[in-house]
Amino acid sequence: MLGGGQPGGSAPEAAMDFPIADLMDEDACYAELAAWLHPDGFACPRCHEGDRMAVHRRNRPPVLDYRCGHCGRVFNAFTGTALHGVKRRPVELVLIVRGFAQGVSTAQLARELECDRSELLNLRHRLQDLAFRNRDRMPLGDTVLEADEAYQNAGEKRCPAPRPRGPAAAAGEQGPRPRHLGERPAPGVRGGRPPERHAPTDRDRAVRR
């Protein structure tokens, strides 16, 4: 019986872990990684020659070190690539890349693969930078594009223009002239209409004399 529960179902069944990394083929994962990293063919990273490569070391198969027969450079499939210096098995690397592509969090991948989170975070930033620098920059083939309001405005929603506080001027009447900073009102204008002037009378002339 799966789970090893007690008869009668009184006790919960024990959780079963599936170590997916142990069920995958190392050689197949290595071949897939090499195809991703070298789409034009595996060659020496120094002289870019693809022939006369002899096996130099077999320390961690299937990742082998080769020596170039042209320039003598020792390298492997990860040398000079985004996976240079990563000490992970090909199976683990395939699962990491797959997790990154699916948007799995770094913390979850670190728990599943039992590795350091900071190591995976650095690798994630490296692969994201590589993908950004090699992104497709060709223009879109469609001649007509559709965009919704959120894309057109892009956060540029603006408040309506402020309305004037005073009443609007009547037709043919000039509205109040805006006062500039530092300009003082004319005498008698502050707070109301200017006083009206009348023609001097005989009494006014006598008072002045």
Could you tell me which residue, 184 or 58, shows the higher pLDDT?
Answer: 58
Do 129 and 54 share a domain, yes or no? no
- Domain carrying residue 87: 19-39+82-133
Q: How confident is the model at residue 179 (pLDDT cuts 50, 70, 90)?
A: low
| pLDDT of amino acid 169 | 60
Q: List, edge to edge, every strand of the sheet that includes 53-60.
A: 53-60, 63-68, 74-75
| pLDDT of amino acid 49 | 94
Do 103 and 29 share a domain, yes or no? yes
Do 34 and 48 share a domain, yes or no? no
The last residue of one of the domains, among 112, 133, 154, is: 133
| pLDDT of amino acid 132 | 83
Helix (H, G, I), strand (E, B) or coil at 67: strand
pLDDT at 40 over 80: yes
| Structural domains counted in the chain | 2
pTM of the prediction? Answer: 0.54
Do 71 and 102 share a domain, yes or no? no
What angle (nearest 5°) sits at the alpha carbon of residue 132, between those of residues 127 and 133?
Answer: 100
Q: How confident is the model at residue 106 (pLDDT cuts 50, 70, 90)?
A: very high
Do 51 and 64 share a domain, yes or no? yes
Do 111 and 29 share a domain, yes or no? yes
pLDDT at 139 over 90: no
Average pLDDT over residues 126-136: 81
Do 31 and 101 share a domain, yes or no? yes
* Residue 163 CB-density burial (10 A; 0-12 exposed, 13-18 middle, 19+ buried): exposed
| pLDDT of amino acid 151 | 45
Do 119 and 53 share a domain, yes or no? no
Q: How many residues does the chain have?
A: 209
